[in-house]
Structure 1
């Protein structure tokens, strides 16, 4: 019986494989478990998002949309190779698929054609949504492909699975095309090669731990009108350090104000992965990049 990994074990497994991880607000308890069980888990499923921009992609996968509430995956794999954790439980990513495919994954045998949709995939698969338009033209940077390889291998290593436990959405549900732009057979070969060697964790802890490098994100609620706390001043001082303090007349303080918002917005507009959601209110991704 393959029990889902506890959140800390999931994050640790990814980091041990050398994955750069961003843990988003509430991800440990953000799930669809009230709609059905998660587990026993049998494998890992790879998707593309049909979205553009990391911040926008993470927001959609976290919140979902009309008719399909989030989380839409366990992690988003951005083009820069960063994995954004959104859930450790049941997620709306796989939908109904072919029970014969599930049996092949469980037995780690070659996959049959997916010609039925009779089995609940959200129960049995971890899902990674990969930032890509899915049009066959949007590139897959090597950093992103490497992160897919590492993330899938991390889970396989945690459970003692082989590379045949990793499939694409197009191999599970009839009519799906994702991931489009690379071959799942080629990705499985990469995963097999990685599983044949010891994991290669990053040379530094990721994300950098102790607070003198990157302090933990305090939550979005810390940066709202009327809030006064140490995190606001900490944010302001880092903005000044990065050259984005022009809206301060006196300097950063503990009181959140319009100057803080404008400086954050200027920083967000300076980064392509943040521009699509540059509202001046810092989320986990803004915080992560500001201290990078």
Structure 2
């Protein structure tokens, strides 16, 4: 039993364990606390998403589905090994589960087979969704498995838990199969080995590894923004627009319905909101990307800027 740390401490715990972290919008305050308490926490629950595509998956776990509002986890572990922080507080991830399994997690012993669903898991577990189709054939890259290991070990280390405090959704709730494609016993063995060693001393990176970061050309993006029909006639198409729109969605400035690859009026208005967020005003917040504002957007939401 433990009290969750503050959101900034939570993020730093992951970074201190060597995890690459991307903070998504207002994740520190995105939660379901109005529906019930979160904490004390007893362990870490691992899931798979049954989705593909990192940005698509981030949107789903942040916003949720009809009848199951987001956040659907505290962090989403992408195939690249990057962990996207989605929410902090109560999240719709665990559902009702087996009280005997919870007792085993608390006692740090092998959990029995789950055959009941009567205990509120959303209250008492950290939840991490992992980008995977969950069909048993979709691969689990080494970088992703290492990130799962590091995330779980970071929280266990903080709370002085052992590897038995980490379980899969399939061990908690009857009928669930996630995560599928590796065994939780094998993951717990990795976590135990990591916990038996020293805390990493190498300062972790706080940005996406270069090979996984999309790039956005400033000149092409500005041309697309200025070609909005309300401004100058025929729209200019550019693939980088979608990357920027996804970042603006994650920042909370653009509705996901406008994530269409067209730098139209809605995207211009959203980018102007981002500029105002940075402190620009007047003509400096006109919704046309500039080098400094675009770089700051990319640094936070995972893309690089080229000329």
TM-score between both structures, scaled by the size of structure 1: 0.77
- 1:45-90 per-residue CA deviation (whole Å, 9 max, x = no partner) reads 0000000100010000000011100000000000000000011100
Gaps of 5+ in 2: 209-214, 246-258, 275-296
Q: 1:173 to 1:290 in 2, by over 3 A?
A: same
Provide, for residues 156-199 of structure 1, a one-character-per-residue CA deviation record: whole Å limited to 9, x for no partner.
01100000000000000000000000000000000000001122
Tell me by how many angstroms 1:17 deviates: 0.2
Is 1:289 aligned to residue 271 of structure 2? no
Kindly report which structure 2 residues correspond to 1:144-183, keeping only aligned pairs within 5 A, or say none.
144-183=144-183
**1:134–1:240 CA distance, 2 compared to 1 (3 A):** closer
**Is residue 2:141 matched to residue 1:141?**
yes
The structure in which a higher percent of residues are helix is 2
Q: Corresponding residue for 2:212?
A: none
Within 2, Cα distance between the matches of 1:173 and 1:201?
A: 37
Contact 1:247 1:259 in 2 (8 A): no
Aligned to 1:81: 81
Contact 1:37 1:90 in 2 (8 A): yes
Match of residue 111 from structure 1: 111
- Kept after mapping to 1: 8 A contact 2:16/2:204: no
Aligned to 2:46, what secondary structure does the other structure show?
strand
CA contact (8 A) 2:220 2:238 kept: no
Deviation at 1:32, TM superposition (A): 0.4
| Alignment CA distance shift 1:86-1:260 (3 Å) | farther
1:288 is displaced (CA, Å) by 3.3
Q: 1:248 to 1:40 in 2, by over 3 A?
A: closer
For the structure 1 residues 25 and 246, does the alpha-carbon distance in structure 2 shift closer, same or farther, using more than 3 Å as the test? closer
Which SS does the other structure have where 2:84 is aligned? Answer: strand
Give SS of 2:44's match. strand
Whether contact under 8 Å (2:18, 2:205) holds in the other structure is no
Which blocks of at least 5 consecutive residues in structure 1 are unaligned?
209-237, 270-276
Show the counterpart of 2:8: 8
CA shift in 2, pair 1:151/1:245, >3 Å: same
Tell me, what secondary structure is at the counterpart of 2:45? strand
1:279 and 2:261 correspond:
yes
Describe the SS at the equivalent of 1:179.
Answer: coil
Q: Secondary structure at the match of 2:167?
A: strand
Determine helix, strand or coil for the equivalent of 2:156. Answer: helix
Against the structure 1 CA distance between its residues 245 and 66, is the aligned structure 2 distance closer, same or farther, given a 3 Å change threshold? Answer: closer
User: What per-residue deviation string (whole Å, max 9, x for no partner) do you get for residues 102-140 of structure 1?
Assistant: 000000011011000010000000000000000001000
How far apart are 1:259 and its partner, in Å? Answer: 7.6
* Aligned-residue RMSD, C-alpha: 3.1
Residues 11-63 of structure 1, C-alpha deviations (whole Å, 9 max, x = no match): 00000000000001010000001111100000000000000100010000000
Do the aligned residues in 1 keep the contact of 2:18 with 2:204 (CA within 8 Å)? no
1:31 aligns with 2:31: yes
Give the drift of 1:290.
2.0
The separation in 1 between residues aligned to 2:4 and 2:67, in whole angstroms, is: 26
Across the two proteins, how many residue pairs are aligned to each other? Answer: 251
| 8 Å CA contact retained: 1:18, 1:199 | no
